[in-house]
Each structure stands twice: as structure tokens, then as C-alpha cells.
């Protein structure tokens, strides 16, 4: 008596060859699909490099450059990059930020100046002022500060009205 459902077709049992199963050609394993990340990936500029500050690092100083920066640890100081800045969930940055795109999933204590796009994700906290062309704020995020957004010219002030 079998404890499982018999997969034999209705026509009756088929003969099972005796002995070991025939040798199979070596098969390549299927490629592993990457796991979805918590923070949304910004668009990458061709040829731009990304610098990662790991979760177990605490650094104080200044970051300047043309590439992208991904912060997973703690950083105290100003960040001036021509690329993108991503603050991962659990990361802390204290200082001024000048970047093309800023994605905040962790904590930023400081101002964002002249960004084309700022995204505050659901796990993000921003304590400071924002001057950006576009600001996206997810439900559940926390923010304290002033915002200048929607003006052309990287967060520039609107032209003065004529009297």
C-alpha cells in the first residue's frame, strides 16, 4: 500500500528499467536572479563609478567627486558629488548634501541643496531644508524643515514679480 498518489496513467503501470539511471549530460545551473533591494536604484550615468561606505563604518570628513555614493554606515561631513547619493536604511548622514539625485531610506540631518531629484522613502528621516527640482515623499517617512521644489534651475528661487 502506497502512502502517496500513484502518478501512473489510467492505462496501467509501465515497466521501470532495472539498474542505475542513465547518465545525463552536465547541465548548467540556472542563473540566480538578484533579490529586490529596499532602496530604489537611481539611474546610472555610463562610466560613473559608485563608492560604498559599508554598514559597519563610521567616517568623518568630506566627500567630493564625480561618481555615485552609497552610504550604508555613518558619515559626518559634507557630500559634494556630481552623481547620485543613496542613503540606505539604517545609515546616518550629518552634513550638507550637494548631489544630482538624493535617495533617502536612512537618516539625513542636514540640508539638500540644488538637487535635480530628492526621494524620501518610507523608512527615511530628513531633518533639514531641501532645495530641489523634484521632491517625492513616501507615506510613513519623517521630515522636518523647509522645502523649495518645482522650480527650474536646481532648486533656484523663482524670478521676482514685477510691481
13-26 per-position pLDDT tens digit: 555 555 555 555 55
Residue 88 resides in a domain:
yes
**Domain range for 115:** 64-149
> What is the pLDDT, as a whole number, of residue 51?
87
Residue 69 resides in a domain:
yes
Residue 87 resides in a domain:
yes
Q: Please spell the DSSP secondary structure of 78-131, one letter per residue.
A: EEEESSEEEE-TT-EEES-EE-SEEEESSEEES-EEEEEEEEE-TT-EEES-EE
49-80 per-position pLDDT tens digit: 888 899 989 999 999 999 999 999 999 999 99
Residue 27 resides in a domain:
no
Residue 114 resides in a domain:
yes
Mean pLDDT, rounded, for 2-12 = 56
Residue 51 resides in a domain:
no
Average pLDDT, the chain: 79
| Alpha carbon distances (Å) from 112 to 25, 64, 79, 143 | 58, 15, 10, 12
Percent of the chain with pLDDT over 70: 63
Mean pLDDT, rounded, for 98-121 = 96
Residue 44 resides in a domain:
no
> What is the pLDDT, as a whole number, of residue 27?
54
Supply 31's cell numbers.
542563473
> What is the pLDDT, as a whole number, of residue 37?
41
Number of structural domains, the chain? Answer: 1
Residue 31 resides in a domain:
no
Amino acid at each position: 500500500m502506497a502512502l502517496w498518489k500513484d502518478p501512473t496513467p489510467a492505462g496501467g503501470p509501465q515497466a521501470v528499467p532495472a539498474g542505475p539511471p542513465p547518465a545525463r549530460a552536465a547541465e548548467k545551473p540556472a542563473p540566480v536572479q538578484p533579490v529586490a533591494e529596499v532602496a530604489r536604484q537611481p539611474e546610472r550615468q555610463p562610466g560613473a563609478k559608485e563608492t560604498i561606505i559599508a554598514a559597519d563604518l563610521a567616517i568623518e570628513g568630506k566627500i567630493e567627486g564625480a561618481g555615485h555614493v552609497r552610504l550604508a554606515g555613518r558619515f559626518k561631513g559634507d557630500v559634494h558629488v556630481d552623481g547620485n547619493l543613496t542613503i540606505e536604511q539604517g545609515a546616518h548622514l550629518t552634513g550638507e548634501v550637494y548631489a544630482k539625485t538624493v535617495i533617502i531610506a536612512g537618516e539625513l540631518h542636514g540640508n539638500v541643496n540644488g538637487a535635480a531629484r530628492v526621494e524620501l522613502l518610507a523608512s527615511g528621516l530628513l531633518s533639514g531644508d531641501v532645495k530641489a527640482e523634484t521632491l517625492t515623499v513616501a507615506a510613513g517617512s519623517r521630515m522636518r524643515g523647509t522645502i523649495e521644489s518645482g522650480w527650474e534651475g536646481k532648486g533656484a528661487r523663482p524670478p521676482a514679480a514685477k510691481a
